[in-house]
Amino acid sequence: MSTDKTDAKRHHDPQVRGFASDNYAGAHPEVLAALALANGGHQIAYGEDAYTEHLQRVIRSHFGQRAEAFPVFNGTGANVVALQAVTDRWGAVISADTAHIHVDECGAPERVGGLKLLTVPTEDGKLTPELIDRQAYGWDDEHRAMPQVVSIAQNTELGTVYTPDEIRALCEHAHDRGMWVHLDGARLANAAASLDVPMRAFTNAAGVDIVSLGGTKNGAVFGEAVVVLNPDAVRAMKHLRKLSMQLASKMRFVSVQFEALLAKDLWLRNARHANTMAQRLAAGVREIDGVEILHPVQANAVFARLPHDVSERLQKRYRFYFWDEAAGDVRWMCSFDTTEEDVDGFLKALREELGR
């Protein structure tokens, strides 16, 4: 008879590594320990538990005394709920044409959120006041969706990072035109680590009104949070979260993960490590002929261009994604558990495939 305490079996090789996404990584052991700590006994459901209550104090320590966190299941849900909270039914959101809300969310902001995206081409994934003005017009034109929100990502989908001054200028520009500012912070920790500043420096202190705060890409099992920084900009958050199917009944298990990440410095340790591994990867790639790095490596992503057949062979050894397959562009992501050996092994495989 088996003496195992569980019938669960491991169905993967934990030695297999990749550079496809920081979502591929498992959970940080400190987060898993926090989940075990929160388990057992009964806690009030739907966010009235002790862990979600304590999370508010942790969030305010990072984002100011007006901040309030609304835990949700995932990043798309966070973005849809956040954008709904700062738009009217006739409202529109200005974003970069590379933004996750435009490219990677299956139309959820428009189909589920019921809003219109007004996109702008950018060189590096970053909006500027001048680029915003390409879509910031026609407020009195009933034939056009009304621009009400500017949505930016920190860091961007191209791995670039806004400075606090750049975000402050964007917020001032948007507010002067009567618009709110949403920040997609799926990798907010990586941006803070890259800039070596607190998260508040480019969020509430810079004028951002609402944030989608990521946890999964930085060591959580599941869960993100909408963080309201400016209550005057937002309405009906609780109702919108439920309406959008993002209200967790056992919310303590989302909240305690954010507590584990944010109460001390785990969020920063994880992000710094992922960024450092990306820098190591980029430094190695720069020494290899036949590979071009496409964008500044400012967080935990490396975008590169190399021969298509080389990428296809390399993908059989390490998972990663094409970014623009026709051009031969790829994206390599590092995570909190990427090791120096992982990076060096990948670089060795890249050299071998280029040499074939």
Question: CATH number for the 266-354 domain, one of 3.30.70.20, 3.90.700.10, 1.10.287.70, 3.90.1150.10?
Answer: 3.90.1150.10
Question: What backbone phi and psi angles, to 5 degrees, belong to 307?
Answer: -55, 140
Question: CATH number for the 29-262 domain, one of 1.20.120.420, 3.40.640.10, 3.40.50.720, 1.10.10.10?
Answer: 3.40.640.10
**pLDDT score, position 321:** 97
**pLDDT score, position 1:** 44
**pLDDT score, position 31:** 98
Point out which residues pair with 212 in neighbouring strands.
184, 226
Mean pLDDT, contiguous 10-residue spans, the chain (356 residues): 69 92 97 97 97 98 98 98 97 98 97 96 97 97 97 97 98 98 98 98 98 98 98 95 97 98 98 98 97 97 97 97 96 98 98 94
Domain residue ranges of the chain, discontinuous segments joined by +: 29-262, 266-354
Q: How far apart are CA 172 and CA 318, in angstroms?
A: 44
Global pTM exceeds 0.75: yes
Cα–Cα distances (Å) from 100 to 12, 72, 185, in that order, read: 29, 17, 11
**pLDDT score, position 6:** 73
User: Among candidates 71, 86, 337, 334, which has minimal Cα distance to 213?
Assistant: 71
